[in-house]
Amino acid sequence: MLCSPKELGLAEDAAGLMILRADAPVGQPLAEYLGRRGGEVVLDLEITPNRPDLNSVLGIAREISAVTGNPLRLPAVPDSASAAPAPEAEGERCVEDLVAVRLEDATLCPRYTARVVSGVKVGPSPAWLRQALEEVGQRSINNVVDVTNYVMLECGQPLHAFDYHLIGRDAGGRPTIVVRRAVPGEIFVTLDGRTHQLSPEMLLIADPEKGIALAGVMGGQNSEIHERTVDVLIESAWFQPANIRRTSKALGLRTDASYRFERGVDPGLTDWASRRCAQLLLETAGGRLAAGVVDAFPAPPPPHQITLRHRKVNELLGTALPPRRSSITWVSSVSRSSAANRLRSKARRRWSGNRSRSASRAGVRTSSARRI
């Protein structure tokens, strides 16, 4: 059979046939010959709206850890201090010197972080990254954009990458991110080429001159990553869920980012996801990460302590949990309802003999599993 890489689902390029080497073993599965994982299992899960913490691989892994008792293994991500060389040592500038962030509506955007990676080389993603995205139905675009999508699928935090040199500057000449409401009738062109007329109820990521992204929904054409991009600004933020839902519905724009934001994302994950994105960006596109992070977070929520009556917990769940197993010391104010749901569902699954019934209570329904 004569096929192009596009016909085999391996690439977007359909120019010419895919020619194998002369020593390719006859009868060997093509996926195995190309070094792809032949035994990969893809789970198709339906997540109910009350469990936004399960909209990621790590969220599912955390749940499985609770069920099985196996330890949760997280990717090793450098902290902010060790993610880049000290500026004084190598003449590098801190990220605060490269970009400013101004929150004009901290109610709709309580937290916004920015990091800058300079000297990247935009191009095709490595095979492992393309395969990971294709297995969940996403199209590979380029290494920079693919990394932001990969991290979103991995941890549940949507991210966006801007071409740093397409961001407008303030009076002092520093590129500036302004998080503001749209002005009445403001026109904005999203990445898909569609033109939208915005209302003041919609939140924009802007610079001092123009809007550059529809907050939590989709980026704009005027700041997108392209083949000539050399410096990248990584956005990781938390947006008010109800506002994202209204904007997405009003404009008819449904994206993977809006799906997650409108259901609720953990604001404590914002910086971790940004560091993870920077880590993978350096691995796949090269470049150098500016030291530090711009973290606009004017009102971090205080920790909340939850008081439990151990006897009542066991009465409600029909369990025999010892006190040390039924205690939660604190959760963030934004995530406390999700954590309470997790407590109830974990207890059900650990002590229920019917695993499928427990999974349904927890908000996860397994539709199918297919082997790649």
Tens digits of residue pLDDT in 32-46: 777 666 566 778 889
What pLDDT does residue 37 have?
60
pLDDT at 349: 47
Mean pLDDT computed over 211-237: 97
Question: 235 and 214 in contact (C-beta within 8 Å)?
Answer: no
303-311's contacts with Cβ under 8 Å and 24+ in sequence apart are 303/330, 303/331, 303/332, 304/330, 304/331, 304/332, 304/333, 304/336, 305/329, 305/330, 306/330, 306/331, 306/336, 306/340
Residue 42, strand partner residues: 370
DSSP annotation of 106 reads: T
Domains of the chain: 1-33 (no CATH), 42-73+302-371 (no CATH), 87-296 (3.50.40.10)
Q: How far is CA 206 from the centre of its chain?
A: 20
Q: What is the mean pLDDT of residues 304-310?
A: 81
User: How far apart are alpha carbons 230 and 209 in whole angstroms?
Assistant: 22
Please give the Cα distance from 229 to 122 (Å, whole number). 7
Q: What is the pLDDT of residue 357?
A: 38
Best CA proximity match to 302, nearest among 330, 272, 325:
330
Residue type (1 letter), 360: S
pLDDT (0 to 100) of residue 323: 77
Per-residue pLDDT tens digits for 97-130? 999 999 999 999 999 999 999 999 999 999 889 9
Asked whether the predicted pLDDT for residue 1 surpasses 50, the reply is yes
Q: What does pTM read for this prediction?
A: 0.78
Predicted confidence band at 341 (pLDDT cuts at 50, 70, 90)?
A: low
DSSP 198: -
For residues 211 and 221, what is the distance between their CA atoms, to the nearest angstrom?
Answer: 10
Q: What's the rounded Cα separation, in Å, for the pair 198 and 213?
A: 12
Q: Quote the pLDDT of residue 69.
A: 84
17 in Cβ contact with 4 (< 8 Å) = yes
Q: 186-211 in b/e burial notation, b at 16+ Cβ within 10 A?
A: bebebbeeeebebbeebbbbbbeebb
